[in-house]
Each structure stands twice: as structure tokens, then as C-alpha cells.
Amino acid sequence: MTDHVLSAAKPEKARGLPQINPVYFLLAALIVAIILNNPAFVEPTGYMNFLKRAAPLAILAAGQVYVIVSGGFDLSVGSLITLVVVGSSMLSNNDPNATGWVIAAMLGIGLAVGVVNGLVVCFLKVPSLIATLGMMITLNGFAFMWSGGAPRGYLPDSFRYFGRFNIMDIPVIRMLPVAVIVMAVLGFALYWLMHRTNLGRMIHAIGDNPRAAQLAGVPVNRVRITAFVVSSLSAVVAGILLGGFAGVSTDVGTGYELQAITAAVLGGAQLLGGRGSVPATIAGALTLTAIFTLLNFLGLPQPVRQVVQGLILIAAVALAMYRRKRTGQ
Amino acid sequence: MSEIAAERPKSPAFRFRFDRWAPALLLLAAVGIYLAACIVTGQTQYLNWDNLLAVLGRSIALGVTAIGQTFVILVASIDLSVASLISATTVLASVIMNGDPAMILPAIAASLALGAFVGAINGLIITRLDVNPLIATLGVSLVIQGCLSAFVSNFAGAVPVEFQFFAYGNVAGIPFAILFFFGLAMVASVVLRLTRFGSNVYAVGGNADAARFAGIPTGRIVVIAHIICSLCATVAGLYLASRLRSGAPWIGANGVYDLESIAVVVIGGTILAGGRGGIWGTVVGVMIFSLIDSIFNVLGVDAFVKQVLRGIIIVAAVAFYAVRSKRIVA
């Protein structure tokens, strides 16, 4: 009798397979669609170039998700990318030996930008949307000031190595772009930091309920500043990669902040904080790139890409909200 | 006992409400700096009535957009689709008019219909599908911009001379557009302060759950606020069409009307979390923005430095209110 009651009280639905984030299915479906359209994609040159193109966005989005999970936004990353590309070309002054300290200087700038973003949000209490918007405008201004409006010079090959170079003659996969290695290493590091350390747990906590986190002893300000720093540093790395294959201009980073947020949202991150995953965000970035690639193969023009991106963005969030409501979470 | 009495808040009539006066203080500071800049650089020729009107007239489109944006921010939503809606309106209106004065009214009607439609879509996506407003309106914005640039890539259509009155006409020596802007602000503030809809807006923005329990149809209020915002954006688009004498598919994105209108509203003391603020704050925010531009012009600040300072000023102005808040913000 007791047994019966107990078993009746159990949830009716048996626990099935662990829930898999739908972004992975979407990514798989898109890759199948790309292969059907362009069989050359299964060749290493096909998918490796795809991964190489996706790497900057993936890294950027993996950093952005830190800020999103902590409950904020980072709109300054796009213009930080621009500043990195323009600044590197100005600083390195066509000198291939300068690459080392130029990259260090750029990481320093990224660190400073992240810290300022974090301090403004934490201590001036400016909502991150406005704080990073201001930073975005300011950094764009700096990029223009630095280059005098028209960036000159180019990036030395030693700098472009990271974004451009492919390591050839590797068994099985034949080629391995350096950008893909950077993506894999940083992606893993960010995954580990977010999902395997106390910092990651604290970031989730302050995004979910900052007051509760504070009462539980989380150093809210320090954690939030760290999240902004991670996002800015990932933007610097994305900028270094983009400088490698996109060249120098004052609009390389334009629109990347929104693409990064889109990627995080596709990966199931919850805006205003508390939920989000680095691997799913990277899958979201790959999905977004795959969508653009597919639209390119289909010969659809840029406007259609915009429309599709908009519809997917809305559909992804609507679906996530629907699932969340249905499962009662 | 006396301690308790001392701690009691003073009667509200005598309390200085910082958040109510902060926009005015900021405006005063901006005016002061402008006057000082003019006098120090010896450019006193700018200190006259005509120049004052010119300063105001420069930001009519931003102001009209920001009035609409105030409504959505008050219900704790946000609208990023205004910029592309402005572009779409300038093109739609000037293509329909195509130089023919008889087509002015149909063009206005079609534009407003477009605005109402976009606003309703925004509102329904946010309330029915539970999509975060930032994402919803960003998505709608991409869709509008994509549809627009699929059809138009250059100046399109022509605006008849009669319709250019909106941007260039004068009534009693004052530009019509400025009168229109203040008229619209007046209507908007009456709606917010004196109607049931207005108080519902504040209730929904302050605490949506409490508003729902109090019997306020929260979803409908959010949808209506979005329709108002989009209608304001179309009006701003009509004004820009009248000023450019043609439709331009890039005008909204070039003017950064989405982010700037949000910045103006926030500088005007309306908080992003919703439920607090008002139209006159936004009007003051618009004036501060155009004064900042004028100050830069008077001082001859380099265009790029100007941009850097603009970013810093936006953050500083918002910090001016926010820094006193005890809440944890993100």
C-alpha cells in the first residue's frame, strides 16, 4: 500500500534522456543542409575554413556569455574589436618584430576597458546597457582619433599569423588553421572557468539573484567586474583573429556585439542573467555562421540574411521561453 | 523619542526630490557651459533667439522618437526597432507621395499604419511569446532593415513642396517642427499624467505582477505602449522625409536613433527598469543632447574627440542619478 502511494506520488513521466540543448540539433541540421548544397564542405578545406571564419565570433560570444549570465550586456565589444585592429596596425607600424608587445598592449587595453565597464556598472550604478553603449561610442571615437579617420598601413604577417595561417600536412585533417586552435583552447578555458570553478558559480549566482548572492557572501562587485574583463579580453582576441583575415578598416567590428548576443541567446543563455552555457554559446556562434554560410550558398543577398537573422533570433527566444514555461522551470 | 521624531521624513511638500530635479540641474549645467563657451571664445553672435531655435530644431527627429521611447521604457520594455522603422517610413512616405501633393494624406496614413503594425508586432512578440524586448525589437529591426534594403538602396521617391512645410515651415516666426514637437510632448505628458492609461503605464512598469493582480490588463498596456512608440518613430520618419525632400534607407541607422533615443530618455531621468520618469525629463534630455552638440561646435572640438566625449557624457549623465541608488544594478 505504502509502496503504491509512493509510486503514485512519483512524477508520471519517466526520466528519459538527459535534455540536450536544441542548439546542437539546429547546428547539425544546418551542417547537413550545407553539405547537401555543397558536398565539398566535407573536405577539410571546407569545414576548416568554416571553423576559421566562425572562430572570432565564437570566442567573442563565449566571453559575452559571462556578462549575460551575470545579468548584464556588453555592447562595447564590437568597437573594441575595431580599436584592436586599428590600434595594432598603428602601433606595429609595419614592423614584424613588434607583434609580441603589440598584442600585449592590446590585451592591456582590453583589460582596462573591461575594468572600466565593470567599475561604472558596480560603483556608478549605471545599467550595463548604457554603460557599455557609452563605452562603444567612446571606443569608436578613439579608433577614429587614433587612425585620423582613415587607417593606414597594414598588419605585419607575424600578426596576421593567428587569423590567417593554416598548419598544413597534418594527417587525417590535412590542415589546421591557427584560429581554430585558438578557438578550441580559449573555448575550453572559458568552459572550465564558467562551469568548473567557483567563479562560474558566483557569476550564475549574481545573475540569478544579486541580493541573495550578496547575502550568501559572494563579492558581487568583484565577480561582475571579472565578467566584464573576460568579455573584453575575448573581444581583443577576436579582434586579433579578425585583423588576420579581414584587414584594417574602421568598421571591422561593427555589428559584432549584436551577433555575439544573438549567439549566446541561440545557445540558450537567458538575458538578464542566471542561465547560460559556454559550449552551447559556441555552438550558437557556429550556428549563426552556418546560417550565413548556407544563405550564401543559396545565393541569397545580404538583406535576406538580415531578415533571416532577425526571425531566427525571435524564434529561438520564443521557443526557449515556451519550453521553460511548459517544463515549469 | 526625539530621535524618532527627527528621523521621520519631512513632509513631502518641503522635501527636495533629487530625482525630480536632476534633469533640470543637468540642463542648467549644460546651458551654463554653453553660455560660458560662447562668451569665452567671443562668439556672442550665437547668443540670440534664432540660434536658440536652430539648436532646438536640430534634434526634432530624435526628440519625437524619444517621446515614444519614453512610453516603452516606462513599461519596463525597450524598442530597438525605431531606427529602421524611421528609415522605412521616409522611403514609404516619399515613394507614395512621389512629388504629388494629392498623395500627402495617403502617404501619411500608410506610414502611420506601418507604424501601428510594427508596434503591434513588437508588443505581441513581447507579451504573447514572452520574448525579451531587447531581442524582440532587435529581431524586428533586422527584418525591417532587410526588407527595406532588398527594395531600395538609394534615395527613393520625392516629397512635394507642400509637405516640406513640416520641416521648413514657420508659424508666427517659430519653426513649425518645434511647435509640433512641444505640442506632441504636451499631449504625451497629459496622457501619462491625467489618463487611466497613463497611470496604468506607471503601474505596469513599476511592478507588472502587482499591476496584474490589481486587474490591469498588463499585456494590452505593453502592446499599446509599443504602438505609441512606433507611431512616434513614423512621425519622426515623416519629419526626416520632409527635411531630406526624399526617402533614404540609411537615415535611421545613420542617426543611431535607436540607441540615442534610449540614451536621451535615460538622461531625462526615466529609469530603464520602468515605472519612473516622464515626458518632460525626456524633453530636457533632448535639449541637453543638442546643447552638447552646440557646445562642441562653439568650441570647435574635433569630430572624433566629440564622439569620445559624447560617450563619456552619456555615461556620466546617467551616473549623475544612478550613483545614489542603493540597488545592485547589472
pLDDT tens for B100-110 read 888 889 999 99
Range of the domain at A161: 20-324
pLDDT computed for residue A7 by the predictor: 46
CATH number, domain with residue A49: 1.10.3470
Q: Which three cell numbers stand for residue A64?
A: 559575452
How many separate domains does chain B show? 1
Whole-Å CA distances, B271 to A94, A230, B16, B59, B268: 48, 28, 19, 22, 9
pLDDT band at A165 (very low <50, low <70, confident <90, very high): confident
Q: What angle do CA B309, B311, B315 make, to 5 degrees?
A: 115
Tell me, yes or no, whether A260 lies in a domain.
Answer: yes
Q: Which of A12-16, A71-75, A258-262, B194-198 has the lowest mean pLDDT?
A: A12-16
Pairing of the two strands A174-177 and B174-175: unpaired
* Mean pLDDT score, A99-117: 94
B245 within some domain: yes
- pLDDT score, position B7: 53
Summarised one tens digit per residue, pLDDT across range A264-317 is: 988 888 888 888 999 999 999 999 999 888 888 888 777 887 888 888 888 888
- Domain membership of residue A53 (yes or no) is yes
List the single residue in B138, B145, B263 with the smallest CB-CB distance to A313.
B138
Asked if pLDDT for residue B82 goes beyond 60, the answer is yes
Pick among A314, A324, A325, A327 to test the B interface (most B CBs inside 10 A):
A314
Under a CB-based contact definition with an 8 Å cutoff, are residues A125 and B301 in contact?
no
* DSSP reduced 3-state for A174: strand
Mean pLDDT over A68-91 rounds to: 92
CA distance B135 to chain A (A): 7
Question: Does ipTM top 0.85?
Answer: no
Asked, for residue A11, whether it belongs to a domain, the answer is: no
A10 domain-assigned: no
Q: What is the pLDDT of residues B311-323, one digit of tens each?
A: 898 888 888 878 8
pLDDT higher than threshold 60 for residue A42: yes
Tell me which of B84, B126, B135 to substitute to probe the interface with A (most A C-beta atoms closer than 10 Å).
B135
Q: Which amino acid is at A53?
A: R
Q: Which three cell numbers stand for residue A16?
A: 528519459
Q: Is residue A269 part of a domain?
A: yes
Amino acid, res. A329:
Q
Residue A192 pLDDT > 50: yes
**pLDDT of residue B200 exceeding 90:** yes
Q: Which residues of B touch A120 (CB under 8 A)?
A: 315, 319
pLDDT at A1 over 50: no
Query: Residue A9 — pLDDT band, cuts 50, 70, 90?
Result: very low
Name the residue type at position A248: V
Nearest to A314 among B131, B319, B327 (CB): B131
Number of domains making up chain A: 1
Checking DSSP bridges between strand A174-177 and strand A166-170, what pairing results, if any?
antiparallel
CA–CA distance, B79 with A71 (Å, rounded to integer): 19
In whole angstroms, how far apart are CA A286 and each of A234, A235, A267? 16, 17, 10
Q: What is the pLDDT of residue A6?
A: 45
Burial A119-145 (b: 16+ CB within 10 A, else e): ebbbebbbbbbbbbbbbbbbbbbbbbb
The answer to whether the Cβ–Cβ distance between A310 and B138 falls below 8 Å is: yes
- Across residues A189-194, what is the average pLDDT? 95
Measured in whole angstroms, how far is the alpha carbon of residue A215 from the centre of its chain?
Answer: 31
Closest by alpha carbon to A190, among A247, A243, A260, A105?
A: A260
Question: Quick check: B182 pLDDT over 60?
Answer: yes
pLDDT of the residue at B3: 47
Report the pLDDT averaged over residues B48-60.
Answer: 81
Give the residue from B88, B157, B149 showing the smallest Cα distance to B118: B88
Q: Indicate whether A38 pLDDT > 90.
A: no
Give me the mean pLDDT over the B92-116 stretch.
Answer: 91
Residue of B143, B312, B329 with shortest CB distance to A134 = B312
Q: Is the pLDDT of residue A108 over 90?
A: yes
**Residue B42, domain member (yes or no):** no
> Residues with Cβ < 8 Å from B97, sequence gap 6 or more?
B103, B104, B107, B157, B158, B159, B160, B163
Q: Look at residue A3 and tell me whether its pLDDT is greater than 80.
A: no
Cell numbers standing for residue A228: 566584464
What are the distances in angstroms from CA A183 to CA A19, A63, A85, A238, B6? 26, 12, 18, 9, 62
Q: What mean pLDDT, rounded, does chain A reach? A: 86
Tell me if A145 sits within 8 A of B287, measured CB to CB: no
Is residue B184 in some structural domain? yes
Q: What is the pLDDT of residues A48-63, one digit of tens each?
A: 889 999 999 999 999 9
Taking CB atoms and an 8 Å cutoff, what residues of chain A touch B81?
Answer: none
Q: What is the pLDDT of residue A15?
A: 54
- Is B308 contained in some domain? no
- Residue span of the structural domain in which B192 resides: 59-279
Residue A74 counted as domain residue: yes
Residue with cell 525589437: B137
- Whether A153 is covered by a domain: the verdict is yes
Please judge whether A310 and B302 are an interchain contact, meaning their C-beta atoms are less than 8 angstroms apart: no
Residue of B nearest to A211 (CA): B328
Report the residue of chain B nearest A70, measured CA to CA: B330
Of A259, A227, A205, A288, nearest to A27 (Cα)? A288
What is the rounded average pLDDT of the residues B117-127?
Answer: 95
